[in-house]
Structure 1
Amino acid sequence: MSDADLVLADEHHHLSMSPATVSTWRGNSEVHGTDMLAEEVPVALEYNGISHAVMLATPTDLEDFALGFSLSEGLIRHRSDLYDCDVLSLPDGIRIAMRISNECFAAMKDQRRNMSGRTGCGLCGAETLAQVLRTPPRVNSAIRIDAAQLQQAFLEMEQQQTLQQATGSTHAAGWLAADCHVPVVREDVGRHNALDKLIGALTYRGTDFASGAVLITSRASYEMVQKTAMAGIGLLAAVSAPTALARRLADETGITLVGFVRGHGHVVYTHPERLCHPLPSLKSA
């Protein structure tokens, strides 16, 4: 096991990447070497003994993932609704066995979703349109962020993306705190999984979600906005574009949605009042 593997293994020793022998071509020149590839494994989420969903995910920070997924999907209301969470390694994947409150379990059975998740899709298997187009409550966040600090926060998050630096194939979600630093970053092959891991990690820390913002290294899809709203976070900033459906949901739920945060620029799609921009300079005639 390499030093990088040791660094990128979580408390359950699930490795997040593996070496692969490759041939690299530059023009007509071939070089043999080793690349590191991000791992993705089937992760089964089980509630009170009943299988609910199977997602493909990077096998690290899985307790964070389980709690964040449960909250962002509305399966539990509070951290206290999750009584136990056991991560079990199996020959063909990982099972996360959770025990939740009887009230939440009864509600979950009433609106059961049989999902088979994929890296690029978080809505696979929803049985009705209403299950897909859930509208969370309107967020209540008075946070205001300086636009220049938002740009700097993405640079700070990038420095913490160790798995992306090693493999080049993962997404990240980071928390921009009220002090304008990024204390928590989570990575995964799936953008939805990375956000769920972040929400879970912040919940375990007792973070006030109204006090900061979420940064993501992907496009701002509908479900990314939906999960942000479910957590009560008032600002979502992405390096790429939102979809039209995501923009409409952000507008409806009161989220400031920012896209194309790159270099020294960005685009604000909804609720610009949470971003502070410098006054434009006045050019003399």
Structure 2
Amino acid sequence: MGRMTSRRRVLRVHDGAHTTRPDTLTVEEPLEIRVAGKALSITMRTPGDDFDLAAGFLVGEGVVRSAGDIHSIRYCAGATADGGNTYNILDVVPAPGVAPPDASVERNFYTTSSCGLCGKASLDAVRTTVTWPVADDPFGTDPATLSRLPDELRAAQRVFDRTGGLHAAGLFDADGKLLCLREDVGRHNAVDKVVGWATRDGKLPLSGTALMVSGRASFELVQKAVMAGIPLLAAVSAPSSLAVDLAAELGLTLVGFLRGSSMNVYTRPDRLGFQPS
């Protein structure tokens, strides 16, 4: 299996003095996701929880909706100098009767770790393939509980402590209990790993939960949360305009700039005990 961290020598300069020492870095490697042997996407990710990443990605794109839709996930042989496996190619075999990915999902191109798969095709798809509508989810929590989530998320980031270079996504219940945390060089990958964990463990839909992410809240993250049945998405940074529009349309509570006791609630404030504006 691939490693999440790697060591490199670095020249450290501080107050005019310099030393050479080893530094721990976050590993970034490509992962090709195939469905029934056909390449679907290539994304840059941090190795680890790859099966969860693939399953969560396919849930977000509406290809699968439960663990029963997946027959198997396996690594494919990848060419290395010594003929070994790179563990950078995954093949997901759908269960019998599960339709192959729609043509609109087939995006056989390189995707950076900083952004997911987005655009008109995926926006139209999320409007028509949502399996578990979140608008009527009775989930509710209070601002004080929500304000604790960033610190809880940060405290659970083991690899970040060693590298300082990973995003995180954490799934919490209404009382602020951490249910699952995943780290990755990409925000959307971390979310896919959380959703994939829930998918493979038979926990979908994720009703009554909140998803906390480091960084900003993009359209892709709103899409992934809604497709997994998560009613609340919170981020430590800003949302995009499209993220707010999609959250409002689908009834997701979207919170940004969650830092300490401060936060911006962009949609569905009633889940936090506030009256809609």
TM-score by length of 2: 0.88
| Structure 1 residues 23 and 110, CA gap change in structure 2 (3 angstroms) | closer
Q: Please state how far the C-alpha of 1:202 moved relative to its aligned partner.
A: 1.9
Letter in 2 for 1:221: S
Q: Please state how far the C-alpha of 1:110 moved relative to its aligned partner.
A: 6.8
| Structure 1 residues 89 and 58, CA gap change in structure 2 (3 angstroms) | farther
Q: Corresponding residue for 1:232?
A: 229
Q: Please state how far the C-alpha of 1:27 moved relative to its aligned partner.
A: 2.7
Letter in 2 for 1:186: R
Match of 1:266 among 263, 268, 273: 263
Letter in 2 for 1:247: V
Distance 1:42 1:132 in 2: 25
Match of 2:245 among 242, 245, 248: 248
Tell me, yes or no, if the aligned pair for 2:148 and 2:260 is still in contact at 8 Å. Answer: no
| Structure 1 residues 131 and 263, CA gap change in structure 2 (3 angstroms) | closer
Q: Corresponding residue for 1:9?
A: none
Q: Corresponding residue for 1:192?
A: 188
| Structure 1 residues 42 and 195, CA gap change in structure 2 (3 angstroms) | same
Q: Please state how far the C-alpha of 1:89 moved relative to its aligned partner.
A: 6.1
State, as a whole percentage, how many aligned pairs show the same letter: 35
Q: Please state how far the C-alpha of 1:165 moved relative to its aligned partner.
A: 1.1
Q: Please state how far the C-alpha of 1:150 moved relative to its aligned partner.
A: 1.1
Tell me, yes or no, if the aligned pair for 1:47 and 1:105 is still in contact at 8 Å. Answer: no
For structure 2, the residue ranges without an aligned partner over 5 or more in a row are 81-85
TM-score by length of 1: 0.86
Tell me, yes or no, if the aligned pair for 2:244 and 2:266 is still in contact at 8 Å. Answer: yes
Match of 2:56 among 55, 68, 80: 68
Length, aligned pairs only = 262
Q: Please state how far the C-alpha of 1:75 moved relative to its aligned partner.
A: 1.3
Q: Corresponding residue for 1:148?
A: 144
Distance 1:15 1:167 in 2: 13
Is 1:130 aligned with 2:121? Answer: yes
Please state whether the residue corresponding to 1:145 is helix, strand or coil. Answer: coil
Is 1:52 aligned with 2:40? Answer: yes
Distance 1:196 1:111 in 2: 16
Letter in 2 for 1:32: T
Match of 1:177 among 142, 162, 173: 173
Q: Please state how far the C-alpha of 1:151 moved relative to its aligned partner.
A: 1.5
Q: Corresponding residue for 2:214?
A: 217
Aligned CA RMSD, in angstroms, stands at 1.9
Moved more, 197-206 or 53-62: 197-206
Match of 1:205 among 190, 193, 201: 201
Q: Please state how far the C-alpha of 1:87 moved relative to its aligned partner.
A: 2.5
Distance 2:178 2:48 in 1: 19
Tell me, yes or no, if the aligned pair for 1:135 and 1:249 is still in contact at 8 Å. Answer: no
Q: Corresponding residue for 2:83?
A: none
Q: Please state how far the C-alpha of 1:58 moved relative to its aligned partner.
A: 0.5
Q: Please state how far the C-alpha of 1:133 moved relative to its aligned partner.
A: 4.5
For structure 1, the residue ranges without an aligned partner over 5 or more in a row are 1-12, 278-285
Distance 2:175 2:259 in 1: 21
